[in-house]
Chain A
Amino acid sequence: EAGVTQSPTHLIKTRGQQATLRCSPISGHTSVYWYQQALGLGLQFLLWYDEGEERNRGNFPPRFSGRQFPNYSSELNVNALELEDSALYLCAGTGEEIYNSPLHFGNGTRLTVT
């Protein structure tokens, strides 16, 4: 069974540009979560998609947005990039309620904003 795949592995952008990050969960997993892992700050919850709908979002500005496609893959878009957006962005999926089952994480996309 293929794991969670994220692309690209690394992304370098200039301040003010837009970044698009992609995630494919494990087959059968309908929920996708996005997290930001900035240095020294742990994982901060960004967005939760389930069955194609945005179910919840963390405390991030609206320039962080995304969507989930009919095949349950997902895309995270970051507009008007700022230097502090430099971080590892992790995608995770599950097919069950997360309070009782594991999240399956990808290896992340390292975004660098210069």
Chain B
Amino acid sequence: GDSVTQMEGPVTLSEEAFLTINCTYTATGYPSLFWYVQYPGEGLQLLLKATKADDKGSNKGFEATYRKETTSFHLEKGSVQVSDSAVYFCALSEKTGRRALTFGSGTRLQVQP
């Protein structure tokens, strides 16, 4: 079945540091890939998405590129801020079949001033 594997956290960085959160996936077809973010006390919200190979999703300075050859969708940001502290979830959705998001276990990011 489908699965998503994320690097374990917490990831602790200083403000303005470079961020990478690794995500790899297993899927039978050609899924869409997503990053969702959960800020403290809030529900999950979509951060960015990519629906086909080599697509790059971007939002709020975050980027992720859909790499079919390595089945990866790593999240990056060039300069993190304290306000980026949150839990980040990588997810996939097949375009047919079950059509439910499969999530990774989440990576907690803590950014220190």
**Residues in A lying within 8 Å of B, measured CB to CB:** 3-4, 33, 35, 40-45, 48, 55-56, 58, 90, 92, 97-100, 102-108
Contacts and interface: CB of A to CB of B under 8 A. Distances in A.
Interface stretch (B14-22, B40-48, B64-72, B73-81): B40-48
A95 B57 CA distance: 21
A33 B100 contact: yes
A105 B95 contact: no
Contacts of B101: 33, 43, 45, 98, 103
11 contacts: A41-B105, A43-B89, A48-B99, A97-B95, A97-B99, A99-B51, A99-B93, A100-B49, A106-B43, A107-B42, A108-B43
Contacts of A108: 43
Contacts, number: 64
A98 B93 contact: yes
A63 to B, nearest CB: 20
Main secondary structure of the interface of B (DSSP, over half): loop
Contact of A105 (B44, B102, B105): B44
Given A4-B43, A98-B93, 14 more contacts: A3-B43, A43-B89, A43-B101, A45-B100, A45-B101, A56-B98, A90-B44, A92-B44, A99-B94, A99-B99, A100-B32, A103-B36, A103-B44, A108-B43
Contacts of A97: 95, 99
Q: For A43, A45, A90, A108, which residue has the most chain B Cβ atoms within 10 angstroms? A: A43
